[in-house]
Amino acid sequence: MGKLQKFWKGLIAGGAGVVAALAAVNAAVARDVPEPETGALGGEAGTFQCKHGQVFYRHAGREDAPPLVFVHGIGAGARAFMWRRNFLPLSRDFRAYALDLLGFGYSDKPANAPYSSDLYTELIADFLSEVVARRARVVAHGLSAAFAVRVAGERPELIDSLVLVSPTGADHLSARPGMTGAAFYGLLHSPVLGTSFYNAVTSERGIRDFARDQLFYEKRFATPRLVAHYYAVSRLPGAQHAATAFLSGYLNTDIREPFARLRQPVMLAWGRQDTTNPIEQAGLLLRLNPRARLEVFDRCRMMPQEEHAERFNALLRDALRA
């Protein structure tokens, strides 16, 4: 019995030592984070009070111009920064808005918010209704494009047309989390182990490798400036909460039914070499809604608005004017 007690005491002491070491590393990471870059997008800053906190956005262009709303994709460090090559150029023809979704960028990141596809669908609808206050054109990326589809289906009076960049929800990122996702969500919420995992996933090297291998076809677009910005934003206090819900599958949403019912004009923009959300997903969507139009960008992965900004802006300008 004495040997067994010694074994358990040693195991507990060793586990406590590991936890203490991880906590020390997490504290060191938090201390060494640089301030994120501000003002890259241009325009004027504004805030909007939603149900769960304050949402930051920028706006530019004539007040009487047709409204155009940019919604960034979902991921660690994500925010409206991804539209920096599109926002001001298109604000010459439109009243442009670009928001940081709750839990991301410079918006509030409450720990107790029920981060889900329902939350973001409601938030986008409220932003369109209360801030834009006119029927708008909406440009959205990835999982946020799925939220925009739901808004267009549920509140058609708010959205005039859609441009969806590599949208998910036809098959990819459509399933709600099961027991595994719930267990993973619990693990990521543990103060030490969850923070350690988040820090590992969002390290500068991790962000750089993801940008080079998944975001961009041309590695030169994964600039030190871009990596530094995503890293700094991913380290803002509370940034792990929404990212944890995303990684666990709680933001997934199935758009097949609402996409098939859409009556608004829809343009899909897809990188031919997108490996994260392959272009075959576009075929599924086009079969559901033959009225949608597909624009394919060659030598491009997930970010056509950056890798082919001039063509992307020209297509948007023509499509949205029409």
Tell me how far apart the terminal alpha carbons of the chain are, to the nearest angstrom: 81
Q: Positive or negative CA dihedral for 168, 262, 316, 100?
A: negative
Strands 136-141 and 67-71: parallel
**pLDDT confidence of residue 175:** 74
pLDDT in tens, 153-165: 999 999 999 999 9
The predicted pLDDT at position 150 comes to 97
The 8-class DSSP code of residue 160 comes to: E
pLDDT of residue 12: 41
Query: What one-character DSSP code corresponds to residue 43?
Result: S
Predicted pLDDT at 19: 37
Position 159 scores a pLDDT of 98
Residue 321 is predicted with a pLDDT of 78
* Partners of 171 in the β-ladder: none
In terms of residues, how long is the chain? 322
Sequence-distant (≥ 6) Cβ neighbours of residue 195 within 8 angstroms: 22, 26, 240
Phi, psi of 291 (to 5 degrees): -75, -20
Element of type H or E holding 296 = strand 293-297
Pick out the chain residues at pLDDT < 70.
Answer: 1-38, 178-194
- The pLDDT value recorded for residue 26 is 38
Hey, is 30 helix, strand or coil? helix
In the chain, what are the domain boundaries?
44-175+251-321
CB-neighbour burial class of residue 225 (10 A; exposed 0-12, middle 13-18, buried 19+): exposed
Q: Which CATH superfamily is domain 44-175+251-321 in?
A: Alpha/Beta hydrolase fold, catalytic domain (3.40.50.1820)
Name the strand (E) or helix (H) holding 195: helix 193-201
- 36 is written with which tokens? 């994120």
Rounded CA separation 76/235 (Å)? 9
CA-to-CA distance for 149 and 170, rounded, in angstroms?
Answer: 11
Please tell me the predicted confidence (pLDDT) of residue 4: 45
Q: How many whole angstroms separate alpha carbon 296 and alpha carbon 282?
A: 10
